[in-house]
């Protein structure tokens, strides 16, 4: 079944333009994923298109009012008539993209693929009235420790990361399993033709045709890259004593200026 995304935003074209490009664009076309963007301004409180208001308690800037966000959410859940706020986060999950949220990682992305429908709420410039967030939001998600002008790019990041795990979206089903982070370590360095470029040679073993040795080389270079570039991830790996020994031998036999 297709994975469904609804994005509540003042800038639907921003999310759409990203999602409609490349691999996610193809996934949208062939129905592996579905994207519905909902323009919050369509639910403005007056004919002037007003969706925001000044802050209670003072302070500069404006805040999105609860009514337009709530009406947009009801539309996303397909509710007509007597509206109800029901939470089934295992099936339909409402996520608010915010720098206050839990920082997205691959384990969270994998967990999100078990949902059928993700409703993503994006704020822009200003925040959103806390009450509507308290009522609607199952989970607050950040994409990293820095501040963006709005949640739209973060929503596009989440859609991209989740979509590529939906069966059929990637050309090669097994491809994602081999890539950075899915095994808790970084992908090994990769090389293509020419075998010698500006005097720089592709590692010999990759040209040897000896698959077992190639696999070992790639595994160890993956571990070494993880150790050097992401020691935090490396420390999470459950390596056996033998694997440590092999990694030490590998890094000594092939000294690297970084180590
Ligand atoms: Cl999800 N939103 C905004 N506005 N800034 C962010 C973010 C989200 N994640 C990191 N920075």
Pairing of strands 139-142, 117-122: unpaired
Mutation to probe ligand 1, out of 148, 155, 160 (largest number of atoms < 8 A from CB): 148
Q: How far apart are CA 228 and CA 231, in angstroms?
A: 6
In 3D space, the residue among 150, 146, 159 whose CA is nearest the CA of residue 127 turns out to be 150
Q: What is the pLDDT of residue 254?
A: 57
Give me the helices (H) in 147-234, please.
Answer: 152-163, 175-178, 211-229, 231-234
Residue 16 has pLDDT above 70, yes or no: yes
- Ligand 1 pocket member 142 (CB < 6 A): yes
Is the pLDDT reported for residue 140 higher than 80?
yes
Indicate the pLDDT class of residue 253, thresholds 50, 70 and 90. Answer: confident
Contacts for 99 with CB less than 8 Å, ≥ 6 apart = 142, 145, 146, 147, 148
Reported as a single tens digit per residue, the pLDDT across 40-54 is 999 999 999 999 999
Instruction: Compute φ and ψ for 83, nearest 5 degrees.
Output: -75, 150
Among 61, 97, 120, which is best to mutate for testing ligand 1, by the most ligand atoms less than 8 A from CB? 97
**How much is the average pLDDT of 164-169?**
97
User: What is the tens place of the pLDDT at every residue in 200-247?
Assistant: 999 999 999 999 999 999 999 999 999 999 999 999 999 999 999 999
Selected residue with higher pLDDT from 230 and 252:
230
pTM for the model stands at: 0.93
93-122 pLDDT, tens digit per residue, is 999 999 999 999 999 999 999 999 999 999
Please state the CATH superfamily assignment of the domain spanning residues 186-251 in this structure: tRNA(m1g37)methyltransferase, domain 2 (1.10.1270.20)
Ligand 1 atom closest to the Cα of residue 145 is 10
The average pLDDT across 168-175 equals: 79
Q: Which atom of ligand 1 is nearest to the CA of 149?
A: 4
Helices (H) and strands (E) in the chain, counts: 10, 9
- Structure confidence at residue 34 (pLDDT): 98
The three-state secondary structure class of 140 is strand
Domains of the chain, by residue range, sit at: 3-163, 186-251
Whole-number Å distance, alpha carbon 101 to ligand 1 midpoint, is 8
- In percent, the amount of the chain with pLDDT more than 70 equals 95
Judge if the beta carbon of residue 39 lies within 6 A of ligand 1: no
CATH class assigned to 3-163: alpha beta
Q: How sure is the predictor about 126, in pLDDT bands with cuts at 50, 70 and 90?
A: confident
CA 142 to ligand 1 center in whole angstroms: 5
| Of 140, 160, 123, the residue nearest 11 (C-alpha) | 123
Cα of 3 from ligand 1 centre, angstroms:
23
């Amino acid at each position: 079944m297709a994975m469904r995304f609804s994005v509540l935003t003042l800038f639907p074209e921003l999310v759409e333009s990203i999602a409609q490009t490349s691999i996610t664009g193809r996934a949208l076309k062939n129905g592996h994923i579905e994207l519905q963007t909902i323009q919050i301004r369509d639910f403005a409180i007056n004919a002037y298109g007003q969706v925001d208001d000044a802050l209670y308690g003072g302070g500069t800037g404006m805040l999105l009012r609860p009514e337009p966000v709530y009406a947009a959410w009801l539309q996303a859940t397909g509710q007509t008539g007597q509206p109800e706020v029901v939470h089934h986060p295992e099936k339909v999950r409402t996520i608010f993209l915010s720098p206050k949220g839990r920082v997205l990682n691959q384990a969270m992305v994998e967990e999100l693929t078990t949902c059928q429908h993700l409703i993503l709420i994006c704020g822009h410039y200003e925040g959103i009235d806390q009450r509507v967030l308290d009522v609607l939001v199952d989970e607050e998600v950040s994409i990293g420790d820095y501040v963006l002008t709005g949640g739209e790019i973060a929503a596009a990041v989440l859609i991209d990361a989740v979509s590529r795990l939906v069966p059929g979206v990637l050309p090669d089903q097994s491809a994602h399993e081999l890539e950075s982070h899915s095994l808790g370590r970084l992908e090994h360095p990769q090389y293509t033709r020419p075998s010698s470029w500006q005097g720089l040679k592709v590692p010999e073993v990759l040209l040897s045709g000896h698959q077992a040795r190639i696999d070992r080389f790639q595994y160890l270079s993956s571990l070494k890259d993880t150790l050097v570039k992401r020691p935090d991830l490396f420390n999470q790996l459950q390596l056996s004593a033998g694997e440590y020994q092999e990694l030490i031998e590998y890094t000594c036999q092939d000294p690297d200026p970084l180590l």
